[in-house]
Amino acid sequence: MKLFGVAAPTTGSGKTSITLAILSRLRNATAFKIGPDYIDGGLSSAITGNMTWNIDRWIQGKAYSQVIPAASQKYDFGVVEGVMGLRDSGSPVDLSTYFYFRKFRIPYILVVDVSRMAESAYYLARGFLGPLSLGVILNKYGSERHLEMVSRPFREHGIRILGAVPGNKEFAIPERHLGLHTASEMTGLREKAAAMSIHIDMGFLDELPDRQFIIPSYHQPKSTGKSIWVAQDKAFNFYYADSLTSLEGMGTLNYFSPIAGEYPEDPDLVYFGGGYPELYPGELSRNDKLRRIIADFSESHGNIIAECGGLMYLEKDMETDQGVFPMAGIFQGRVRKNSRLTLGYTKLQAREDTLLFRKGEIAMGHEFHYSTIEDQGKKALHNIIGKGIDGDDGLVLRNTFGSYSHFSLSRYSRRLRKALDI
């Protein structure tokens, strides 16, 4: 697999747009996303038609080092999109893009937003260039004269310019207070990426070696015939690829859309991931059959995992600007949409056994939401790092587990397999 990365000096430079543009020119490619971001991964998956794999040693533990080798046998190209600026971490543990690039010896393209600079762009960029850098893409230039001013110092200092993309509003990916729009909410994404790609010289691919990785020695257990149902639509679409792959080793994955009125049939496990349920409260509330099925399944000790948006759906009701809407009602709290962002890594300790964790175990996750939950129910996790629900998390009722934190299920699959009697 030919492997390379896309990084930038600062967040907001256009890494995602450039990554999508490059992917639109590749065949049999996959993307990797450094960090816990789901949205960028969904966008790149929409371009490649393949899973995008998150790489995050906080959430995945030592298994992070197996993600690229495990995927390398299936694809001809792998594009690794960085997070924030190249050297940014914001954590006592080095979680920067550069850490992963150095760990896996990933050569990278530096995307430089030149919209507010001329010659200074070079002097900003040179601190982020080094032995692993392939060159730069100059993004959001204003005119040909502006581009010439920006380009000259790079040429004079022998820095390869792999592309120059004009600051065209048509190339922008729409945003809102929740972040970028998800792939399922956008039209014309492929066309937009292809239009950007004509400004990029793909010749650098010919110089990349075909990397060979040592395949992880662990054995993925064969499917056991369990029926696993995953909520997948505009309301629920935040999933880690390694979580879904782990579930595939436990049974047959089936997908259903709550907002389209669909529901699981004879499940052994139902998984509600994160997403934006607060944008679709009416559609979710109107699916009476699903709400009854989920409540009955929980009452009969069926296995349910719900993360963030999934937890919001399992509460009694949800209050938004449109009113108060009944949800599944397994838990008896109220969700309130707000404009304050809760974002960051979490570290939690289990107070009791759950579907995923043993009592006393430390769990590592991530939270991202614009909502609050008022719920006095029993919580199985205590936040050492992170907010959760007033410092605790992990609502538990019978075999139903819901948390504000997102987790890599592959890291905790042994406990889940036992709960499923596998």
- Catalogue the active-site residues: 308
Question: Structure tokens of 235?
Answer: 């309301």
Task: Convert 225-274 into a string of H (helix), E (strand) and C (coil).
Answer: CEEEEEECCCCEEECCHHHHHHHHCCEEEEEECHHHCCCCCCCCEEEECE
227 burial (CB, 10 Å; 0-12 / 13-18 / 19+) is middle
């850490």: which residue's tokens? 99
For 279, the 3-state DSSP assignment is: helix
**Cα 340 from Cα 342, distance rounded (Å):** 7
Output Rg (C-alpha) for the chain, integer angstroms: 22
Alpha-carbon 150 to chain mean position: 33
Dihedral pair phi/psi, residue 53, rounded to 5°: -105, 120
**Cα 310 from Cα 307, distance rounded (Å):** 5
Residues 155, 156, 157: CA angle, nearest 5 degrees: 90
CB neighbours of 36 closer than 8 A, spacing ≥ 6? 54, 56, 58, 59, 345, 366, 368, 406
